[in-house]
Structure 1
Amino acid sequence: MMDDYSLPFWIYLAVVTVIVGGAMKKVLTSHLSTGPTLVAWLGATVLVERLWAFCLPALLLLALIGLAFSLYSWTRTGPPPVTLPTEGKAVFITGCDSGFGNAAVKRLDSLGFDVFATVMDLTGHGARDLQRTCSPHLTLMQVDITQPQQVQQALLDTSAKLGHRGLWGLVNNAGVCVNFGDAELSLMSTFRGCMEVNFFGTLSVTKSFLPLVRQAKGRILTISSPAGDQPFPCLAAYGASKAALNLFTNTLRHELEPWGVHVSTILPSSFKTGHSSNHVYWEQQHKQVLKSLSPSLLEEYGEDYMTETKDLFQSFAKQANPDLSPVINTIVEALLAPQPQARYYAGPGVGLMYFIHSYLPFSISNRFLQKLFLKKKLMPLALRKQSGLDLDPPDLLNNNNNNNNNEK
């Protein structure tokens, strides 16, 4: 019966197979949870059903299913991955006062790396914690990556301690997210501040330390964000800086391949780091934005609209994962894997997000992103007036009444 089908049919079947197979491969290698993996296998089931409908001989079909199952089982239960030794390897990591950087220093130090870590304050809690818990192999440096003189001094100090050795790993971790709210409501200083730290600061460190990394044929790891690839609402300043960083990192990966240097980007999901759980920080940011706006712009958007955005960010931050181990494990993997990946999705949901972004129609991925991040209920005040909507929704009014009662 297979002879009854024309050449275009087999071309179509090959294209379908490649698309479904590529989607499955992306899902299964993206550190996803059981749910998305099940979706991938359902896609494979649909493909099998199509093959069966097109009269593929049953014996051959069973053989294909068995082969696919065997390959999948082998990848899931095979021998542990081979890792490189840590002896004699040095790593320079930025932004270690708290969060990913602080936790990564402790792990890398415990594994036997010679760690050079930068902090903003050598007398701060994070620096004292590292000095107390880590081995004498740890070298702490006070470095603001936006200050070229401090970066150059850190390079000189690191080179002096390394001697004739090169630098195995450069981990670009330092970054800031000092913005929430619509792009029109964000300060120009916020855009510049994000670019100065997240892009130009990382660029300065990378260019300065590249000769040491090339000498060791080592690795460059950059902690970035999905906001640099996808348009998260109310994160324009942060996302734009990370987008510039992602493009620079991708370009660098191609350019350094002939030198034997591996370049990887790590894309974490939502974790509790830095100021994310600091209520005072969010209130200060909110007040600063309100003070900076012109009366006309504040009137068009409405203070309640901006308050809702602040509350949503706080709520999102509270739900973030306090366990940083997915990112720390990924940093270790990227430093010690014989062939590190170009991109790592660290934490639940990131791989699924990129899968939807890459394979589903734009309208679906766009709506998914909006529903995933900030679920705003209020429109700007001017739009509510134009639409004749209730300017004081019942649920918002009830919340205000409850707050007043609590204050009493």
Structure 2
Amino acid sequence: MEEHALSFWISMGVMSALVGGAMRKMLATPMSAAPTLAAWLGVAVLVERLCSLGLPAMLALVTLTAVCCLIPGRTPPAPPLPTEGRAVFITGCDSGFGKITAQRLDAMGFEVFASVLDLSGAGARELQRVCSQRLMLIQMDITQSQEIEQALDRIKAKVGLQGLWGLVNNAGVCVNFGDAELSLMSNYRGCMEVNFFGTLNVTKAFLPLVRQAKGRIVTISSPSGEQPFPCLAAYGASKAALNLFINTLRHELEPWGVKVSTILPSAFKTGQSSNIEYWEHQYKHLLQNLSPGLLEEYGEEYVLETKELFQAYAKTTSEDLSPVINTIVDALISPHPKIRYYAGPGVGLMYFICSFFPACVSDRFLQRLFVKKKVLPRALRKQKGSSDDNHNNIDKVDKST
């Protein structure tokens, strides 16, 4: 009995150590830890089976020792790469991630080239005021090929033979809200023009300079490019195209020594997200351009609720942009940058659920996480009302008979 009890407690100790270590690894890196997690749990089951067979306690101890030897220990992180003399080009620095990233990289000693839409705007003036003389502001619209070429010529003249260490593709836009059927074609084209074709054009133009430096390409994408967020079809489709392009580029640039990273942020207060006038304009523009048939089937009250849900959701987003900025910095200075970064609260958990749980669970999670619609389209409400009336009439007939 005593030998059985000892074997049991050794088994429990081994199981606890393995499962606890696996859970810590999973919580720290939700996606990349999946193979390690599966391996650890497999070893835990194997050890439990061995101990249940009544093998001597010594065998259990030997197994535990072997497992500990097989599991790699925590190695100290490699020192970051130097920043002095290295140039980085960041798009979309008028506000949000781009502006704060430009400030951070300038303070770290990088030579920063920051593109803005408006050289006289508040964001550009702030960068001029707080940053060093190294930072250069460049007026550039990523949808205009001529402006991209002009920016390229200016940067090429400055960096010379050293090339461009980092290209940070940050500029992007979300010009739609509403169901996929309700979103205007101009919204789909607008998102694709900026988020995909604009970023594609910039990346292709600056790639020779990045290859010359064996540098880094860091792209700010979105989880909506991989997960079916309700009411974000136009934006999500443009980010999905961008994700595939960047992933393909990552494989193709490996022989050149260029590292490619994608950052997937959660929701933050950036751009127009907290601008009430912006949402009002989008709402009125949608109503004015919807076909009468669609507006009748969905109803103005359905579109109004969508607008209000977007406004309410924007108020709950975080103003602290540091999780995203920190990942951009790591992708630029880490000797071994990650392929994908999950930046911000909840995004790692969301990817874990959407990757490993059934679709019915992950779909419900996304619906509850984002816009929680309660108003049915007008046509469905009429159908439901007719159905309820028919049931009531049938009940009355049954009672009368």
Shorter-chain TM-score category?
A: 0.7 to 0.9
Question: Is the aligned partner of 1:124 residue 2:121?
Answer: yes
d(CA) in 1 for partners of 2:117 and 2:188? 21
Larger relative contact order (CA 8 Å, sep ≥ 6): 1
Q: Indicate which of 32, 48, 51 corresponds to 1:52.
A: 48
Residue 46 of structure 1, CA deviation: 9.7
1:50, CA displacement in angstroms? Answer: 7.1
1:177: how far off? 0.5
| Correspondence for 2:339 | 342
Are positions 1:307 and 2:290 aligned together? no
1:151-170 equivalent positions in 2, closer than 5 A: 151-170=148-167
* Cα distance change on mapping 1:74 and 1:50 into 2, 3 Å: closer
Deviations 1:237-263 (A, max 9, x none): 000000000000000000000000011
Other-structure match for 2:283: 286
2:178 to 170, 177, 181: 181
**Does 224-233 or 351-360 show the bigger shift?**
351-360
Indicate which of 210, 213, 216 corresponds to 1:216. 213
Distance 2:383 2:198 in 1: 44
Deviations 1:341-367 (A, max 9, x none): 110101111111111111111211111
Instruction: Mark the structure with the bigger radius of gyration.
Output: 2
Distance 2:155 2:220 in 1: 21
Q: Paired residue for 1:199? A: 196
Identity of aligned residues (%): 64
Equivalent pair of 1:226/1:268 in contact (CA under 8 Å): yes
Amino acid paired to 1:274: G
Instruction: Structure 2: give runs of 5+ residues left out of the alignment.
Output: 1-19, 389-401
For the residue of structure 2 that corresponds to 1:311, the secondary structure is: helix
Per-residue deviation, 1:166: 0.5
Rate the CA distance shift 1:387–1:82 in 2: closer, same or farther, 3 A. same
Aligned-pair Cα RMSD in Å: 3.1
SS in 2 for 1:323: coil
More moved, 44-53 vs 287-296: 44-53
Q: Give 2:108's match in structure 1, choosing from 108, 111, 125.
A: 111
Identify if the C-alpha distance between structure 1 residues 151 and 80 changes in structure 2 by more than 3 Å, giving closer, same or farther: same
Cα distance in 1 for residues equivalent to 2:68 and 2:147: 55
Deviations 1:61-106 (A, max 9, x none): 566668878999954xx64542101011100000000000000000
Match of 2:362 in 1: 365
Q: Partner residue of 1:28?
A: 28
Q: TM-score, normalised by structure 1?
A: 0.83
Distance 2:96 2:345 in 1: 18
SS of 2:354's equivalent in the other structure is: helix
> Residue by residue, what CA displacement relative to the aligned partner does 1:28-72 show, whole Å, maximum 9, x if unpaired?
32499xxx99xx999967973674256265555566668878999
Distance 2:247 2:101 in 1: 23
Once residues 21 and 354 of structure 2 are traced to their aligned partners in structure 1, the CA distance between those partners, rounded to angstroms, is: 17
**Matched residue type, 1:365:** S
Taking a change above 3 Å as real, the CA distance of residues 387 and 92 of structure 1, as seen in their structure-2 partners, is: same
Question: Is the alpha carbon distance of 1:130 and 1:305 closer, same or farther for their aligned partners in structure 2, counting shifts above 3 Å?
Answer: same
Q: Residues 181-228 of structure 1, C-alpha deviation per residue, up to 9 Å, x if partnerless?
A: 001111101000000000000000000000000000000000000000
Q: How many residues align?
A: 367
